[in-house]
Chain A
Amino acid sequence: MLVELKDITHVYNQYNPIVALKDINLSISKHEFIGLIGHTGSGKSTLVQLLNGLIEPTSGNVLYEDEDIFSDKKRLKFIRQKVGLVFQYPEHQLFEESIYDDIAFGPKNLGLKKEEIKNRVKESLELVGLDYDNFKDRSPFNLSGGQQRRVAIAGVLALKPEILILDEPSAGLDPSGRNNLLELLRHLHQDINITIILISHRMEEVAKLATRVIVMDEGRIVLDGNPAEVFSEEKRLRELDLDLPAVTSILHNLKSKGLPVRTDIFDITEAKDEIINELKKNVPEEKRLC
């Protein structure tokens, strides 16, 4: 197992305790793409901060490749390199004068040789779709919001993480910036084999990309399964104040009005075909669209 959380409970603020996580048990295998959802305050961000050792749990264990990450504090540096965390609005953390220096910051701290640092900066920039020669000397502050975010993600990728965790990576981007970013995540997962944990409020993103969806509420994991399984729990998700992906919502509504469509489809064209098929089968031509 790549990462395991065992009997985790985490309490913030000893004197006025707030239980952020309760009885969490979770195993993550290599090459999963996990969509982590839940409304604000459900414990998502605390959970991912445990995974790379930013927070030590009040009780329970965090294992990376079967070893407790807190058993040897010296190992934490290695863990943080292996478990890359991209915070919300990561572009706010850009600080160097050139894009090269910004991305090189992490690898430099690993004590890598100059040549290796250069290779990593180059590789990471190409990964996020920015041309090395064209961008390396530019200031990160003269880029568009979407490009800045790519540079920030490249800075984490330059550490060659095994797992990449992203907290709301598409928040605030315009539609084309958002689509490009989602394409990047798909590429990292499918072609570069990086394990990904995506925190998102946009169910469409999660449904399209994730191989597994985990739903949190009040510090607990309440649903865990593939997207079709989790998004079939319409009622439960509504109780948790969560949305369904819009396509799923359309299919559910049609089904409850008597059209027996499948509800485990997330692609709009596939869903369209399903609707047309079922209309043809179930509704005589003259009565369609009454």
Chain B
Amino acid sequence: MSLIEIKDVDFLYREQENKALSGVNLSIEKGEFISIIGSNGSGKSTLAKLLNVLLVPTKGQVFVDGFDSSDPENVWKIRQKVGMVFQNPDNQLVATTVEDDVAFGPENLALPSDQIRERVDKSLEMVGMGGYQSHPPHELSGGQKQRIAIAGIIAMLPDCVVLDEPTAMLDPMGRKEVLKTIKYLNEEEGITVILITHFMEETIFSDRIVVMDGGEIKEIDKPAKIFQNIELIKNAGLDVPVAVQMANELRSSGLNLPEVMDIEELVNALC
């Protein structure tokens, strides 16, 4: 069985007429890097919240590592397996020092203190923030704060991290740091990543991209395939990364270009 199985899921918010999700089916394997794109209101965040039982489907089922999310007995098991990182780093940090913040989760698991210490240090190392243990979080940059938030999740040893627009409020440098961290966690630590983003360039590293529109999954495919489907992207109110767009334009002018995803690949293909 896949790590995450979403089966025929509908979701309706209370007092809303239209379903936020309808007929959603998605399987995510362990170790995958999945990006979810779609305009505001397309259902991305609702889908994310189903994954760690912040919401339970109105219809259908969500299984995480075989555990059914609609069974209240499973809530904490699932939340330990699937961690979430949100948009605003300031809303996610609670303690006065970095190490206390990262330790918050493991402390709630009632682990012995030497194990907590080990997890905190290792998590900080993994997000590139080793040595910042005693720093107050409010003195850090946005990108650093967001990496501390990620470390707090990693310290729970999850199988999967869901990030809901983690770079939306960051400057370009902060975005690069966070993206690098996410890629490292996926590639080197084998953590399954589900990234929700409005930055199309951030999705080109994923194994698969899920395109959402009006509460439905419109397409699931490799980045190269998704961004060649201009019709799909336009209808969903999305964009194509500039390098891919340029390659598409050059192709339609008769140039026989191979598949390229970023500027470097494009330039190398051209000369």
Q: Is the CB of A253 within 8 A of B263?
A: yes
List residues of B (225-269) whose CB comes within 8 Å of A's CBs. Answer: 237-239, 241-243, 245-246, 249-250, 253, 255-257, 263-264, 266-267, 269
**A interface, over-half SS:** helix
Query: Which A residues lie within 8 Å of B239 (CB)?
Result: 175, 179
Q: Is the CB of A247 within 8 A of B271?
A: no
Q: Is the CB of A268 within 8 A of B169?
A: no
Query: Which A residues lie within 8 Å of B26 (CB)?
Result: none
Q: Choose one: B200, B256, B270; the contact of A259 (CB below 8 Å).
A: B270
Query: Which B residues lie within 8 Å of A39 (CB)?
Result: 171-173
Of A145, A173, A249, A289, the most chain B CB neighbours within 10 A belong to A289
Known: A174-B40, A175-B198, A175-B238. A275 touches B169 (CB 8 A): no
Query: Which A residues lie within 8 Å of B271 (CB)?
Result: 254, 257-259, 283, 290
CA distance A289 to B243 in the complex (A): 16
Query: Which B residues lie within 8 Å of A268 (CB)?
Result: 242, 245-246, 249
The count of chain B contact residues (Cβ–Cβ below 8 Å) is 37
CA distance A253 to B239 in the complex (A): 23
B25 to chain A, nearest CB (A): 24
Known: A40-B171, A177-B39, A249-B263. A289 touches B242 (CB 8 A): no
A250 within 8 A of B: yes
CA distance A271 to B253 in the complex (A): 12
Q: Is the CB of A172 within 8 A of B267?
A: no
A13 to chain B, nearest CB (A): 14
Query: Which A residues lie within 8 Å of B250 (CB)?
Result: 272, 275-276
Q: Is the CB of B87 within 8 A of A172?
A: yes
CA distance A242 to B41 in the complex (A): 32
Of A144, A174, A258, A268, the most chain B CB neighbours within 10 A belong to A174
Q: Which residue of A lies closest to B240 (CB)?
A: A175
List residues of B (150-187) whose CB comes within 8 Å of A's CBs. Answer: 165, 168-169, 171-174
Q: Is the CB of A172 within 8 A of B169?
A: yes
Q: Is the CB of A246 within 8 A of B263?
A: yes
Q: Is the CB of A254 within 8 A of B40?
A: no
1/0 per residue A191-210: CB within 8 Å of B? 00000000001001000000
Query: Which B residues lie within 8 Å of A246 (CB)?
Result: 241-243, 263
B113 within 8 A of A: no
The count of chain A contact residues (Cβ–Cβ below 8 Å) is 40
A183 within 8 A of B: no
B195 to chain A, nearest CB (A): 15
CA distance A92 to B263 in the complex (A): 36
Q: Is the CB of A289 within 8 A of B246?
A: no
List residues of B (17-46) whose CB comes within 8 Å of A's CBs. Answer: 38-41
Q: Which residue of B lies closest to A276 (CB)?
A: B253
CA distance A177 to B39 in the complex (A): 8
CA distance A288 to B251 in the complex (A): 13
Query: Which A residues lie within 8 Å of B74 (CB)?
Result: none
CA distance A135 to B264 in the complex (A): 46
CA distance A192 to B271 in the complex (A): 45
Q: Is the CB of B141 within 8 A of A40?
A: yes
Q: Choose one: B174, B246, B255; the contact of A271 (CB below 8 Å).
A: B246
CA distance A273 to B40 in the complex (A): 34
A109 within 8 A of B: no
B152 to chain A, nearest CB (A): 22
Q: Is the CB of A176 within 8 A of B172?
A: no
A binding-site residues for B, Cβ under 8 Å: 39-40, 144-146, 171-179, 201, 204, 241-243, 246-247, 249-250, 253-254, 257-259, 268-269, 271-273, 275-276, 279, 283, 288-290
B binding-site residues for A, Cβ under 8 Å: 38-41, 87, 141-142, 165, 168-169, 171-174, 198, 200, 237-239, 241-243, 245-246, 249-250, 253, 255-257, 263-264, 266-267, 269-271
Additional A-B contacts beyond A175-B237, A178-B198 (15; CB < 8 A)? A40-B174, A144-B40, A171-B168, A172-B165, A174-B40, A174-B237, A177-B40, A179-B239, A246-B241, A250-B266, A253-B267, A259-B271, A268-B246, A269-B249, A275-B250
19 A-B residue pairs with CB within 8 Å: A144-B41, A172-B165, A174-B198, A201-B172, A204-B242, A241-B173, A247-B242, A247-B246, A254-B271, A257-B267, A257-B271, A258-B271, A269-B249, A272-B250, A272-B253, A276-B255, A279-B255, A288-B255, A289-B257
